[in-house]
C-alpha cells in the first residue's frame, strides 16, 4: 500500500483504537507529517526497534510493538522453544509499561509464557533474569539515552545477550514476513493471567541480581570508615537506577550518597534535562551543583535504563570536577582490578579483556603489562556478550572485563550486557580505596597517562538528513576501499581495516583476513598509534567518526586530536 493508503487504513479501521484514529484525524492538513509517519514501517533492525512515539507505521506505538513481537514469537515457535518463555522489562519512558504489557499479551496469545517485571528495572537486570529463569528470550522496552520523544524495543536471547547473527537476521525476516495486521495476535490481560501464561517476576530476582553485582567487588572487606568517608552525588536522570544503585551502595557500606532530588523520581518527560544522556555535561548540571554544595569526591550518573555510567571526579588541586568518559573509566577499572590481582582471587586460569574496535588503545598497554589477553569486537556491547557465550561453550577464556567507549562496561558474567549498577559500585570502591591513600581518581588517571601514554579519543556524529547525503558518504567509503590513502591530512596511514570486506590491508599491500562479522566500517591505523574510523549508525540515520591519538602530554594529545578531527570528515574530503 502507498503511504496515503496506510494512513487512511489507520485513520478509519476499527482495528485501531479511537485515540489513535483521533490523533491521525488531527493530521489531515499536514501532508509532510503524514508522509513521515507512513512512508515506511519502523525498521526492525539487528537489535530491535527504536523510534519516535506516535501513531503510524513509522512510529513506536502498541501496534508496531505487537507487530515486532509477533515476528519474535513466530521465530520462537519455529524453533519449538515456546515452553522456555520470555522475560520482559521496561524503563521510565513514556508508554514503556504499556508496550511491555502489549508485548507480553502478544506472546501469550501465541501460547508463549511470559515473565514480566511489574515495575521499571535496569536493562542489565533483564539480561540477568533471562539467564536465571532459563528463558528463550528477553524483551526490554527502552530507548536508552535518547531524547524523551523516543522509545525502543530490544531483544535478548537465551544466553542473556542481545541477539546477534544469525538469530537477529532470522527474527528480522520473521517480522518482515508478516503481511497483514490480522496475523498479529493478542489476548485480554485477565485471560492471559488465568491461563497461566502471564507471570509476574517476584522480588527474589532483585535480591539475586543485587547479590551478583555486590559479588564483583574487589575489596569487600574494606574498612567501613574508608567507605563512609567517601562523598558521592548520584543522579538516576529520572530513570531506573535509583532504587537498585542506592541499595547496592548502601549494602556495600557507602552511606554518604546524595541523590539529586529533582531527578530522583522516574519521569518519562525527563523534565530537568534536554536529553537523559550521562555523556552530556548538561545532563549532569544539577548533580555538579549538588557536588559543590556537599564537597563530594565523585559524581555518578546513569541513563534511563541504567546500563551506562557517567562520572565526574574532584581534582583537589583546582577544586574542579573532571569529566571521565567511557574510555577513561574503562582503563581506570581495568588497572584497578588487574593491580588487585582479581584473576587470582576469582581463580581465572586464562583471563581475557574485551573492547570494541573504537575503544581506546590505552587498554592495550594495560593488558600487556599484566599479561592478559585482549580481544576486539565490533561496535556494540552485544558483541562482548556474544563472546562470553563462545568462551563458555568452547572452554577457552575466562571473561574478566569488557568495555566500550560509549560509557558501558561489565565485570563478571552474571549478566551479558553493560551494567551501570556494577560500574557505579566499582567506581565508588576505587574512589574510596584511593582516597584512603590520599589520592583522587584524577590523580590515578594522571599516573596512568604517565605510565601508558596520553591517549585521547573523540566522537563526531553527523545526521544523514537526506538519501543523497547518505549515498555520497557510502560512495566515498567505497572509493577509499578501492584506493587506500597514503595520508589522512598529515597523518601517515599504516593500514586500513575494511570490516565490510573483512580484510586488513597494510601500507605495503599485504592483505590479512579480519575474523569479525561483516559491517560497513572503515578503520585507519595511523603512525604513532593514532587511528580514525567511520561507520554508519546501526539504529539511526547517522554517520559516526571516531578518532584516537597518543600524545606526550594532555595538551599535546588535545592538539593532535583536534588536528586529526579536522581532516577526517568524508563529507568534505576530496577522494
Cα(327)–Cα(333) distance, integer angstroms: 10
Residue 320, C-alpha cell as written in the block: 574542579
The separation between CA 469 and the C-alpha centre of its own chain, rounded to angstroms, equals 27
Cα(87)–Cα(114) distance, integer angstroms: 6
Sequence-ordered strand ranges (E) for 499-541: 503-506, 511-513, 521-526, 530-536
- Give the contacts of 468 (CB within 8 A, at least 6 positions apart): none
Sequence-ordered strand ranges (E) for 55-143: 86-90, 114-116, 137-141
Cα(557)–Cα(531) distance, integer angstroms: 13
**What's the N-to-C CA distance of the chain in angstroms?**
40
Cα(120)–Cα(73) distance, integer angstroms: 23
Q: Are strands 454-463 and 542-551 parallel, antiparallel or unpaired?
A: antiparallel
Single out the residue of 40, 39, 109 nearest to residue 74, CA to CA.
Answer: 109
3-state helix, strand, coil in the chain (%, to 5): 40, 20, 40
Residues 382-416: b if buried by 16+ CB within 10 A, e if exposed: bbbbbbbbebeeeeebbbbbbbbbbbbbbbbbbbb
Q: Cα Rg for the chain, rounded, in angstroms?
A: 24
- Burial class for 512, CB neighbours closer than 10 Å (0-12, 13-18, 19+): exposed
Query: Is the Cα dihedral 296, 225, 325, 313 positive or negative?
Result: positive
- Give the contacts of 428 (CB within 8 A, at least 6 positions apart): 230, 232, 249, 252, 254, 298, 300
3-class secondary structure, 448: helix
Q: Which of 144, 252, 406, 519 is catalytic?
A: 144
Residue 125, C-alpha cell as written in the block: 537486570
Active site residue 144: yes
Query: Is the Cα dihedral 334, 338, 339, 345 positive or negative?
Result: positive
Q: Are 205 and 410 in contact (CB under 8 A)?
A: no
192: left (phi over 0), alpha (psi -120 to 50) or beta: alpha
- CA dist list (Å): 140 to 42, 93, 218, 484, 523: 17, 12, 30, 41, 32
Active-site amino acid positions:
144
Amino acid at each position: 500500500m502507498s503511504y496515503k493508503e496506510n494512513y487512511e487504513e489507520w485513520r478509519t479501521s476499527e482495528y485501531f483504537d479511537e485515540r489513535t484514529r483521533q490523533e491521525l484525524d488531527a493530521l489531515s492538513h499536514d501532508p509532510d507529517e503524514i508522509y513521515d509517519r507512513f512512508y515506511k514501517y519502523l525498521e526492525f533492525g539487528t537489535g530491535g526497534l527504536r523510534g519516535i512515539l506516535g501513531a503510524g507505521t513509522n512510529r513506536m506505538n502498541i501496534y508496531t510493538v505487537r507487530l515486532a513481537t509477533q515476528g519474535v514469537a513466530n521465530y520462537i515457535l519455529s524453533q519449538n522453544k515456546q515452553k522456555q518463555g520470555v522475560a520482559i522489562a521496561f524503563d521510565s519512558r513514556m508508554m514503556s509499561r504499556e508496550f511491555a504489557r502489549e508485548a507480553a499479551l502478544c506472546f501469550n496469545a501465541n501460547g508463549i509464557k511470559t515473565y514480566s517485571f511489574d515495575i521499571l528495572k535496569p536493562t542489565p537486570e533483564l539480561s540477568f533474569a533471562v539467564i536465571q529463569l532459563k528463558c528463550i528470550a528477553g524483551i526490554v522496552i527502552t530507548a536508552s539515552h535518547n531524547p524523551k520523544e523516543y522509545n525502543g524495543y530490544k531483544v535478548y536471547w537465551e544466553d542473556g545477550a542481545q541477539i546477534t547473527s544469525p538469530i537477529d537476521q532470522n527474527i528480522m525476516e520473521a517480522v518482515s514476513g508478516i503481511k497483514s495486521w490480522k496475523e498479529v495476535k493478542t489476548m485480554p490481560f485477565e485471560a492471559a493471567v488465568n491461563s497461566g501464561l502471564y507471570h509476574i517476576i517476584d522480588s527474589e530476582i532483585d535480591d539475586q541480581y543485587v547479590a551478583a553485582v555486590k559479588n564483583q567487588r574487589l575489596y569487600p572487606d574494606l574498612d567501613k570508615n574508608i567507605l563512609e568517608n567517601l562523598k558521592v552525588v548520584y543522579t538516576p536522570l529520572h530513570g531506573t537506577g535509583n532504587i537498585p544503585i542506592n541499595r547496592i551502595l548502601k549494602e556495600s557500606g557507602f552511606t554518604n550518597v546524595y541523590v539529586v532530588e529533582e531527578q530522583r523520581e522516574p519521569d518519562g518527560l525527563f523534565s530537568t534535562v534536554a536529553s537523559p544522556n550521562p555523556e552530556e555535561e548538561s545532563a549532569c548540571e544539577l548533580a555538579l551543583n549538588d557536588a559543590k554544595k556537599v564537597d563530594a569526591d565523585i559524581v555518578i550518573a546513569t541513563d534511563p535504563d541504567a546500563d551506562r555510567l557517567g562520572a565526574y571526579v574532584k581534582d583537589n588541586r583546582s577544586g574542579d570536577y573532571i569529566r571521565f568518559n567511557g574510555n577513561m573509566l574503562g582503563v581506570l577499572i581495568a588497572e584497578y582490578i588487574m593491580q588487585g590481582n582479581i584473576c587470582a582471587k576469582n581463580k581465572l586460569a586464562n583471563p581475557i579483556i574485551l573492547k570494541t574496535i573504537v575503544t581506546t588503545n590505552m587498554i592495550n598497554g594495560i593488558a600487556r603489562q599484566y599479561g592478559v589477553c585482549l580481544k576486539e569486537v565490533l561496535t556494540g556491547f552485544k558483541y562482548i556478550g556474544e563472546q562470553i557465550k563462545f568462551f563458555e561453550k568452547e572452554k577457552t577464556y575466562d571473561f574478566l572485563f569488557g568495555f566500550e567507549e560509549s560509557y558501558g562496561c561489565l565485570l563478571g558474567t552474571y549478566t551479558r550486557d553493560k551494567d551501570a549498577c556494577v560500574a557505579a559500585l566499582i567506581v565508588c570502591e576505587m574512589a574510596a580505596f584511593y582516597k584512603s591513600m590520599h589520592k583522587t581518581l584524577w590523580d590515578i588517571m594522571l599516573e596512568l597517562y604517565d605510565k601508558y601514554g596520553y591517549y585521547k579519543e573523540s566522537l563526531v556524529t553527523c545526521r544523514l538528513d537526506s538519501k543523497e547525503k547518505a549515498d555520497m558518504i557510502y560512495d566515498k567509503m567505497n572509493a577509499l576501499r578501492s584506493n587506500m590513502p597514503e595520508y589522512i591530512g598529515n597523518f601517515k596511514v599504516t593500514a586500513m581495516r575494511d570490516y565490510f570486506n573483512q580484510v586488513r590491508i597494510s601500507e605495503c599491500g599485504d592483505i590479512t583476513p579480519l575474523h569479525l562479522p561483516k559491517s560497513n566500517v572503515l578503520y585507519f591505523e595511523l603512525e604513532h598509534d593514532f587511528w580514525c574510523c567511520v561507520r554508519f549508525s546501526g539504529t539511526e540515520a547517522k554517520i559516526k567518526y571516531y578518532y584516537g591519538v597518543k600524545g606526550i602530554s594532555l595538551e599535546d594529545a588535545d592538539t593532535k586530536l583536534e588536528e586529526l578531527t579536522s581532516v577526517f570528515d568524508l563529507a568534505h574530503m576530496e577522494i
